[in-house]
Amino acid sequence: MATKRFMMSSNDKTDEKKGEKESKALDFKKGKKSGTAEKEQKVLAVKPKQKKTVGWIFGMIVLLLIAVSFVMAPAIQAFVGPKNADGIVFGKYGKEDIKYAYGNYFYDQVQNFGSQYKNTGDNATQTLYQIWKSAYDSTVLYTAINQLATKAGIIAADEVVNRAIINSGAYNKDGKFDVDLYQKATAESKASVEKSIRRSVPYQIVIDDIGSALSSSSEAEYVAKMASEGRTFTYVTIDPSLYPDEKASAYALQNKQLFYSMDLSIISVETEDEAKALSSAIASGEKSFEEVALSSSKDNFAANEGKVGTVYYFGLVTNFKNPEDATKLLTAKSGDVVGPLEGAGAWSIYRLDSTPLEADYASPALLSTVKGYLASSEDPIVDDYLLAFANEFVLDAKDDFAVAAESAELDVVNVGGTPYNIAQSTYLNNFSYSDPQGSLARAVTTEEIGKKLYTAELGSVLEPIKSNSSYLVVKPDEKVTDEGMGSYIQMFYNYLSGSQNQQDLSQALYTSDQFQDNFLGTFFSTILGQG
Helix count (H) and strand count (E) of the chain? 21, 15
HSE-CB of 56 using CA atoms within 13 angstroms: 13
Give pLDDT tens digits for 171-209.
998 889 988 898 889 998 888 888 888 888 888 888 887
Q: What is the mean pLDDT of residues 368-379?
A: 87
| Cβ-contact 196, 69 below 8 angstroms | no
Q: Which of 332-336, 387-391, 402-406, 418-422 has the lowest mean pLDDT?
A: 418-422
Give pLDDT tens digits for 236-289.
999 999 999 999 999 999 999 999 999 999 999 989 999 999 999 999 999 999
Q: What is the pLDDT of residue 428?
A: 78
Separation of alpha carbons 120 and 148, rounded Å: 35
Residue count of the chain, please give it: 531
Q: Delineate the domains of the chain, giving CATH numbers in brackets.
A: 16-47+261-357 (3.10.50.40), 54-212+513-527 (1.10.4030), 227-242+367-481 (3.10.50)
Residue 18 has pLDDT above 90, yes or no: no
CB atoms near residue 188 (< 10 Å): 8
Closest to 42 in 3D by CA, of 426, 419, 304, 224: 304
Cα separations in angstroms, 286 against 271, 292, 380: 20, 10, 51
HSE-CB of 382 using CA atoms within 13 angstroms: 30
Please, which residues have CB within 8 angstroms of residue 111's CB and are 6 or more apart in sequence?
Answer: 62, 66, 70, 71
What b-and-e string marks burial along 121-133, b requiring 16 or more CB atoms within 10 Å of the CB?
eeeeeebbbbbbe
Question: For residue 129, what pLDDT band results from cuts at 50, 70 and 90?
Answer: confident
Q: What is the mean pLDDT of residues 409-419?
A: 94
Please, which residues have CB within 8 angstroms of residue 271's CB and are 6 or more apart in sequence?
Answer: 347
More confident residue, 426 or 291: 291
Question: For residue 122, what pLDDT band results from cuts at 50, 70 and 90?
Answer: low
Cα separations in angstroms, 234 against 61, 420, 430, 460: 57, 16, 15, 11
HSE-CB of 337 using CA atoms within 13 angstroms: 20
First to last CA, the chain: 21
Q: What is the pLDDT of residue 40?
A: 35
Long-range contacts of residues 165-174, Cβ cutoff 8 Å, at least 24 apart: 165/193, 165/194, 165/197, 168/193, 168/197
